[in-house]
Structure 1
Amino acid sequence: MFTSRTFKINKICEYLLNAKVKRCYPKHILSNRSVHDVIDVDINGVKLIFPNVWLRDNCQCEQCFHVTAKSRIIDYNNFNVDTKPVKVTKNSNSLQVTWDDGHKSKYGFNWLKLRSFSPKYQKKYNDDIYRSPKIVWHGKDFYEICKKHDYKDIVSSDEALHKWLNDTSVYGVSVIEKTPNSETAIDEIVKTVGFTKRTHYGEKFVVQNVTNTSNVAYLSSSLQIHTDLPYYEYCPGVNMLHFLVQTKGEGGENILSDGHYTAKYIKDNFPEDFKLLTNVQVEWSDVGEEAGNKFYKLYRAPIIEIDSNDEINRINFSIPQRGSHFPGSIEDVVPWYKALKLFFNLNKKFAAKFKTPEGNILVFDNIRLLHGRNKYEDSENNVRKLIGAYIDWDEIYSRLRCVKVKLNLID
């Protein structure tokens, strides 16, 4: 059945009861401050509702939508937010609407279901297309969640590329094995995704012991757990480290902690500390010179960043790259330092410790995981050399969606 109706809040509730879809649409979608004009649609027994204005705005005809550019070209000079349908019909797989200005629109049922306002289909869209849900982990589970992938498979197979990108997005970490012994080997992996994130350290960077350095990561001493480049407003999303040469002696073990796991643990067990870690601004800083380029980077953000849905979306943490200026209130200083130490200690407690074999590429989410390294002995006959590169999450998610479409995993 297809009808067009104007509902006030009590009428909407009555409609939803009659349509037997009240469990699909929670109360928060029903505003008591507005009047809703909707079309209700029964698609093979699935009852869905769509606002008139949304349907008109998303008309797929060639006058309103450019097919090859995948872009809306509807003329908003003449767009009427109060538009109403005068005729609604259907065939076996689509809905046709004639609007009060005479314009005609057609919508495929599968297209409508994927974009419906039902929480069930919104979740499906979020999980399948927007971003796969993250699975947080404790260090004791590291070898179970950290999936291994073959270098040649990734560069030659869409299925392997999809598996690698999806595992990395879900768990925040993965390992690429059997990488060629070349300083340019990481370039082929980057090309499967798109391109690197260039920083003031270049398009790629080398991690090895350098005595007079502008970065403490280029020492052989212990490297405390941190996220890279928190002083960038748009910091690199994913860190890739190719272990070209691994130290043969003691030390050099990697330390990885899931910052989301720790943040959620603090939220559940230390709510006041969680508030401090999410509310108090920190000034992140990096001042120096690299390859003749002087830099003076500053950015302010809390240690734990949350979005409008109170979901964790970025971790900022680095003892060396935390500036000495405290932007917050003096009353916050002592309690914030205690929360900072709690976050640091728990990440150490929950961390995984392992030594990455030579020839592997360790891939991890730089805005989720904290990483560090145990000290190691460095000498002429016992060196450690890593080739690193960054990739933005925008590029990874984009490639992941493209591969899903190519493999017919999504519409």
Structure 2
Amino acid sequence: MTGLISMVYSRVYFSFRKLLSNTQAVLRSTTVLGSRRITFAAFRTIVTAAQEQHSIQVNWDKEKDTWSKFHYEWLRDNCPCTKCRHPDFDQRLLSSLEDATPSNIDVKGSDVVEIEWKDGHRSRYSYKWLLDNSYCHHNLNKPETEKRREVILWDRDTMVNPPVVNYDDVMANDKGLLELLRNIYCFGVCFVPDTPVAPEAMMELATKIGPIRQTYYGTQWFMEAGNMSVNHVSYTKEKILSHTDNPYLQHPPGLFCLHAVEYVSGEGGETTLTDGFKIASYIKQHNPEYFSLLSNVSVLYKIAFKDKLLKDEAIYKSRQYTFTVDDDGEMMGVNINHVDRRPLDEISLSQAKKTLSCGADEAMKKMYSALHLLHQLVYSGQFTYKVGLQPGNMVLMNNWRVSHGRNILSTGFRRISGIYLNRDEWMSKLMVLEQHND
């Protein structure tokens, strides 16, 4: 702190102390070395804050060298006052990118720092708000602002009792719907038995989650194995390789609802489910270089539809990463679709060369080695749960995590129905239900 004494800006120190009584905190002010020091009670934590040239540094624990720094531009941009943000919707009302020069910094009450800006505007920041929104800090374990949900990885051997929520429980109240969505978040999949086979039953459950995603197939589509009105492998009786749906769209659907409407007993036709997060975790652990390639090299997906009855055509294409990780390095999504993957192109090669810092020959060889390992794991059966969907048994899966397929339908008949929702919709419903039910 002594190195800052010579700075043009004056020092402002704040000390926050817990009072040992139930009475309201008492504000005490003194003057030390020409700077103002203020001591008050707050959250059982002693806090000092010093005004620097470009920021305020808040020391949460001096002994542990725990501090946060808040720049003036950031503070002004995020002013929480009702003039700058709507009190009910927490949305900005004004452009707050104004002159971020403070003319005075003070303490009002027991836990609020108030800044008066050069243009006369006043901003108030609570201790808790600063702690929750700290972005530049040292040795600080931030409090959890959102409950961390559990993600359980699974394979053929560990998926012994798949998650289940009965249809009536989902439709009856928010508790059943919350259990369904939590299972989807945790396992990537949840079964809903006792679903009425009437098409509207599936639609009613899906719309209870959120708006339906419209695709080329429509809002709710039906697929009969062997009905070739649409030129797509899914309409055949052939084996369908495990895949995530619609990677050829810029934003693939986040939730896939699959319902068995009719099924005539025969040989084959089982539905396969594979945990893409489990496979990504396996590759990351056993071959980090391949994981890096699959996370940093985008692949082109493309499909051309032609409806023979409607005489309608459509072409979709988009680039996707096989593995998508968030800013914390946690898995966010997978794109596994060997059927609709186009040839690796110049963009893919350039990204592979950059990722590996190598030439074209080595980059292409290792990229195909990574894809070979991925496909070997996906199609080996080791990470796959197999089930024969019967009428009335619906399954909902996170299309950004769980790939699905179908064994060859040698005999018999199967008619299924499908509905998509965006990831934002089912995640929004999950967060709202958690907020109101926990």
TM range (shorter): 0.7 to 0.9
Q: Secondary structure at the match of 1:147?
A: coil
TM-score by length of 1: 0.79
- Does the aligned pair in 2 maintain the 1:65–1:73 contact within 8 Å? yes
Residue 400 of structure 1 aligns with an amino acid whose one-letter code is: L
> 1:88, 1:98 within 8 Å by CA — same for their partners in 2?
no
Normalized per residue, the structure richer in helix is 1
Aligned to 2:173: 157
Distance 1:342 1:16, change over 3 A: same
Amino acid at match of 1:60: P
Q: Deviations over 1:5-58 (max 9, x none)?
A: 13599x96xx75853454687xxxxxxxxxxxxxxxxxxxxxxx7555444433
Which one-letter code corresponds to 1:128 in the other structure? E
Q: Is the 8 A contact 1:197 1:236 kept in 2?
A: yes
Contact 2:78 2:96 in 1 (8 A): no
Asked if residue 314 in structure 1 is aligned to residue 333 in structure 2, the reply is yes
Q: Does 1:194 align with 2:207?
A: no
Distance 1:371 1:132, change over 3 A: same
Please tell me whether residue 73 in structure 1 is matched to residue 112 in structure 2. Answer: no
For the residues of structure 2 that align with 1:109 and 1:358, how far apart are their CA atoms?
56
Take 2:207 and 2:385, find their aligned partners in 1: how far apart are those partners?
29
- The residue correspondences of 1:109-120 to structure 2 (distance < 5 A) are 111=129, 114-117=132-135
How does 1:6-155 map onto structure 2 within 5 Å?
A: 6-7=51-52, 16=59, 19-22=62-65, 51-76=71-96, 79-83=98-102, 85-91=104-110, 98-99=116-117, 101-107=119-125, 111=129, 114-117=132-135, 128=146, 132-144=149-161, 146-155=162-171
- Name the CA shift for 1:24/1:190 in 2 (closer, same or farther; >3 Å): farther
Identity score, percent:
27
Q: Mind listing any 5+ residue stretches in structure 2 that lack a counterpart?
A: 1-45, 347-358
Instruction: Give the C-alpha shift of residue 191 in structure 1.
Output: 1.5
Aligned to 1:5: 50
In 1, Cα distance between equivalents of 2:363 and 2:320: 15
Residue 173 of structure 1: how far off its partner (Å): 0.7
Contact 1:87–1:99 (CA<8 Å) still a contact in 2? Answer: no
- Of 16-25 and 208-217, more deviation after overlay is shown by 16-25
Contact 1:52/1:85, CA 8 A, preserved across alignment: no
Counterpart Cα distance in 2 of 1:180 and 1:22: 61
| Displacement after TM superposition at 1:216 (Å) | 0.8
Q: Deviations over 1:206-252 (max 9, x none)?
A: 12213433111112221111111111110111111011123422322
Q: 1:275 to 1:112 in 2, by over 3 A?
A: closer
Aligned length: 375
* CA pair 132-292 structure 1, distance change in 2 beyond 3 A: farther
- TM alignment of 1:176-325, pairs within 5 A: 176-212=192-228, 213-290=230-307, 291-324=310-343
User: What is the CA–CA distance in structure 2 between the aligned matches of 1:336 and 1:236, rounded to whole Å?
Assistant: 26
| Aligned counterpart for 1:337 among listed residues 368, 382, 403 | 368
For 1:346 and 1:123, the matched residues in 2 are separated by 37
Are residues 106 and 278 of structure 1, via their aligned partners in 2, closer, same or farther at CA, if it must alter by over 3 Å? Answer: closer
Distance 1:209 1:152, change over 3 A: same
Aligned pair in 2 of structure 1 residues 89, 204: CA closer, same or farther (>3 Å)? Answer: same
For residue 397 of structure 1, the aligned residue among 427, 432, 438 is 427
Aligned alpha-carbon RMSD (Å)? 3.4
Which of 395, 400, 413 does residue 367 from structure 1 map onto?
A: 400
- Does the residue aligned with 2:158 lie in a helix, a strand or coil? helix
